[in-house]
Amino acid sequence: MTGHILSLNLSLPPLDDTVDIDSYLMPLALPTWESLNLRGEDKFNEAGLLYVENLQWLSGLSLLKHLDLSLVDLSRASNWLQLVNTRLPSLKELHLSNYHLQLGRPLLNVNLSTLTVLDLSYNFFTNQLNLGWVSKLNSLVVLNLAGSDFHGPIPNFLRNMTSLRHLDLSYNNFKSSIPEWLYRFSSLQVLSLSANELQGDISSAIFNISTLNELDLSWNDLEGKLPRAVGNLCNLRSIVLSSVRLNQDISHIFEILSGKLANLEKVEIYNILLEGVVSEKHFANHTKLRYFEGSDNSLVLRANPYWLNATIGTRVLSLANNLLSREIPDCWIKWQSLQVLRLDGNRFTGKIPSSMGTLSELQSPHLHNKLHGEIPSSLKNCRELVAINLGKNELDDG
């Protein structure tokens, strides 16, 4: 033990006025620090209470490996990039998300040879050309540029960053097709392109990235059919396709997803507006499924009521606003991990199953349909309940 402080994680007290972090931190700064987390909280961010005048004090922290100034107002610190580039030679992670970051002049000589994680999300950059230096970060494996207010095609400076494992470009305004060069990122494990108004067909080439663990293409203007190549992504844990215009039967989509995707934990097909029949065979291989969102479609369920017993580890099940009918299956005794249940907006009749009262983790059931009878007294055993929606039923008080 050397007695040196290597890491500092400051939890700032409640604030009633603006605080200059420079004056707050400079008396504490030690050259031995390897990690510094000054991340602000959302309530401070909304009021603009945390800010930095300049980052000159970083010059004395040459051993720093991890720096997080997310949710701190850096609009006054126009030289942040030059200081980080020249004064922090050991930096591995840099998090500067969500507050008025100014890019300034393009960086010509990049010294950040050890940087592996860069998060610049939600800064609404005015000139994406000034981010070209990012492509020279040869050790980078995680890049988050979500909410950067990019317009036009996906930035070309990214095309040679094929060693990336995590790329988040969500919540921009590309309004273009997905470029062919992106399909050559053979090391990608996480790819998020959601909410970008991307256009064109969903290319089967994207599913040739065999390393993908998480894929999010939701809330775009993509269309066509889900390629069968999806079924070859044996490592895929999460696929999000909500509000994508897929012109194929919903049962065909389930058939594709039930291929070799035994590791799937999360599936979102919300608001695709497709029709079709779902049966137990579509879920037979998904014993690891934890989150299923299939609301706002036109699904019809034709299955033995007890097929649901297979997915006993699921925490979120959402099948709201479909065409599900008959009685709600009384099979919930094996769903002990379930926290959110949405069956509202369907055509269920009959009674609320008494086995729902065994769901000790249940926080939010939404059941408004055409149910009748008494509210099961067993629901009082659901100790974690936060909200319950039983509207539009014909239930008795019991």
Mean pLDDT of the chain: 85
The Cα–Cα gap between 356 and 361 comes to 11
* pLDDT average, residue stretch 57-69: 90
Interior angle at CA 194, CA 189 and CA 195, nearest 5: 165
> 214 lies in a domain?
no
Task: Tell me the pLDDT tens digit for each residue of 129-149.
Answer: 688 899 999 999 999 999 998
Structure tokens at 382: 């659901």
Q: Of 105-109, 173-177, 308-312, 370-374, where does mean pLDDT reach its minimum?
A: 308-312
Which residues lie across from 276 on neighbouring strands? Answer: 299
Task: Tell me the pLDDT tens digit for each residue of 318-373.
Answer: 999 999 888 898 888 888 899 999 999 999 999 999 999 999 999 999 999 999 99
In a shared domain, residues 83 and 119: no
> 213 lies in a domain?
no
Q: Of 151-165, 254-268, 348-362, where does mean pLDDT reach its minimum?
A: 254-268
b/e per residue 164-183 (b: at least 16 CB within 10 A): bbbbbbbbbebeeebeeebb
In a shared domain, residues 6 and 144: no
Q: Of 22-26, 112-116, 187-191, where does mean pLDDT reach its minimum?
A: 22-26
Please count the helices (runs of H) and the strands (runs of E) in the chain.
4, 26
In a shared domain, residues 193 and 270: no
Contact (Cβ atoms closer than 8 angstroms) between residue 81 and residue 103: yes
Residue 165 has pLDDT above 80, yes or no: yes
In a shared domain, residues 71 and 196: no
What is the predicted pLDDT for the residue at 304? 62
Structure tokens at 71: 């949710």
CATH of the domain at 160: 3.80.10.10
Burial class (CB within 10 angstroms; exposed 0-12, middle 13-18, buried 19+) of 43: exposed
Final residue of a domain: which of 41, 72, 102? 102
The Cα–Cα gap between 83 and 128 comes to 20
The Cα–Cα gap between 267 and 109 comes to 43
Domain containing residue 152: 107-200
DSSP character string of 242-269: TT-EE-S-HHHHHHHHTSS-TT--EEE-
In a shared domain, residues 195 and 80: no
> 30 lies in a domain?
yes
Q: Around Cβ 61, how many Cβ atoms within 10 Å? A: 21
In a shared domain, residues 85 and 115: no
> 212 lies in a domain?
no
In a shared domain, residues 83 and 5: yes
Residue 242 has pLDDT above 90, yes or no: yes
Final residue of a domain: which of 144, 165, 200? 200
223: amino acid identity, one letter: E
What is the predicted pLDDT for the residue at 43? 46
What is the predicted pLDDT for the residue at 12? 52
> 76 lies in a domain?
yes
> Radius of gyration (Cα) for the chain, nearest Å?
25
> 111 lies in a domain?
yes
What's the pTM value of the predicted model, to 2 decimals?
0.88
In a shared domain, residues 33 and 143: no
In a shared domain, residues 396 and 315: yes
What is the predicted pLDDT for the residue at 318? 93
* pLDDT average, residue stretch 179-195: 96
The Cα–Cα gap between 233 and 32 comes to 44
* pLDDT average, residue stretch 265-290: 82
In a shared domain, residues 127 and 174: yes
Final residue of a domain: which of 70, 102, 134? 102
Q: Around Cβ 245, how many Cβ atoms within 10 Å? A: 13
In a shared domain, residues 309 and 165: no
Residue among 190, 237, 224, 228 nearest 209 (CA): 190
The Cα–Cα gap between 219 and 241 comes to 8
Contact (Cβ atoms closer than 8 angstroms) between residue 360 and residue 333: no
Structure tokens at 180: 């062919």
- Highest mean pLDDT, choosing among 221-230, 302-311, 324-333, 365-374: 365-374
The dihedrals phi and psi of 387, each to the nearest 5 degrees, come to -150, 145
Residue among 185, 219, 183 nearest 203 (CA): 183
> 208 lies in a domain?
no
* pLDDT average, residue stretch 12-37: 65
In a shared domain, residues 93 and 125: no
Q: Around Cβ 201, how many Cβ atoms within 10 Å? A: 12
- Give whole-number Cα distances, 34 to 38, 89, 189, in Å: 13, 12, 28
Which residues lie across from 304 on neighbouring strands? Answer: none
Based on the structure, what is the number of domains in the chain?
3
Entry field: residues in the chain? 398
> 185 lies in a domain?
yes
